[in-house]
Amino acid sequence: MQTHVLFEHPLNEKMRTWLRIEFLLQQLKARLPVNDHADALHFFRNAGDLLDVFERGDIRTELLKELERQQRKLKAWVEVPGVDQSRIDAVRDQLKQSSSTLMAAPRVGQLLREERLIGLVRQRLSIPGGCCSFDLPTLHLWLYAPQSQRDEQVAVWLESLQPLTQTLTLILDLIRNSAPFRKQTSLNGFYQDNGDDADLLRLELTLADQLYPQISGHKSRFAIRFMPLDSENGHVPERLDFGLACC
């Protein structure tokens, strides 16, 4: 049985930002509970990176616009013969609920921004070894607190991100499921096509090929060049079949 590797590539800036946020949210929860220094630095580094991303733009406004766009797309689907009306109604309700929750929530990341411990660790992360116990005695002391106390604090921080997490998960699920994978063939390691206003490219390659895609372009047109993992001895076949979804 062949193992497939999924690659995703954003075709616009908003999708680039959303995929980075999704990645950081996943990393934030990857080493819980926070038991030791390594777990703590993993958590705080990703929390700091999230705040950096939040500060580069108005995440909430972009997500609310996308919720509206998805509702308009669903409205158009209502007219299609044989469509599952109950499924469309359920998704529209989810979109409306997410929109209301996001609008009522505080500024994205506000609780993390106001947390003194996160701020202190964030300042020291850019310094090599800057989070030693003598540099950050507050973190050192926090790690000696009862596990239940740390768990409760981390849970509060993560809960404050729930409106963002739920909305982003819903939006990315809808975008990813908006187009099926279709078999395509590259010639001499190269493939190009029209983007048709897509937000996201999704590629499936077999692990055995040991190839990865270098993608350039935007929502109107894109090009893919396949590169061998072993740049010196690797081989790119003259014809390469792969799965592609333009979402």
Please report the domains of the chain, with CATH numbers, ordered by start residue: 31-177 (1.10.3900.10), 182-246 (2.60.440.10)
- What's the predicted TM-score (pTM) here? 0.92
pLDDT for 220 equals 82
CB neighbour class for 235 (10 Å; exposed up to 12, middle 13-18, buried from 19): exposed
> What per-residue confidence (pLDDT) applies to 219?
74
Q: Are 217 and 165 in contact (CB under 8 A)?
A: no
215 pLDDT band, cuts 50/70/90, is very high
Distance CA(49)–CA(23), nearest Å, equals 11
Q: Which residue has the tokens 């390659």?
A: 205
Q: What is the mean pLDDT of residues 207-216?
A: 93
Q: How many residues does the chain have?
A: 247
- Give the residues across from 243 on adjacent strands: 183, 204
pLDDT of 237 strictly over 80: yes
pLDDT value, residue 143: 96
- 1 — pLDDT class (breaks 50, 70, 90): confident
Q: What is the mean pLDDT of residues 173-196?
A: 93
pLDDT per position as a tens digit, 141-156: 999 999 999 999 999 9
- Chain Cα centroid distance, residue 173: 11
Query: Residue 184: its pLDDT value, please?
Result: 96
**Predicted pLDDT of residue 2:** 75
Distance CA 247, CA 243 (A): 13
Q: Which amino acid is at 234?
A: G
Average pLDDT over every residue of 190-213: 92
Whether 235 has a pLDDT exceeding 80, the answer reads yes
pLDDT at 88: 84
pLDDT at 169: 96
- Calculate the alpha carbon distances from 33 to 42, 136, 138, 147 in Å: 11, 20, 19, 8
The reported pLDDT for the residue numbered 218 is 78
Q: Which two tokens stand for residue 86?
A: 């109950």
**Confidence class for position 32, pLDDT limits 50, 70, 90:** very high
Mean residue pLDDT across the chain: 92
Over range 16-33, report the average pLDDT.
96
Q: Give the CA-trace dihedral at 54, 24, 96, 109, to 10 degrees.
A: -40
pLDDT band at 39 (very low <50, low <70, confident <90, very high): very high
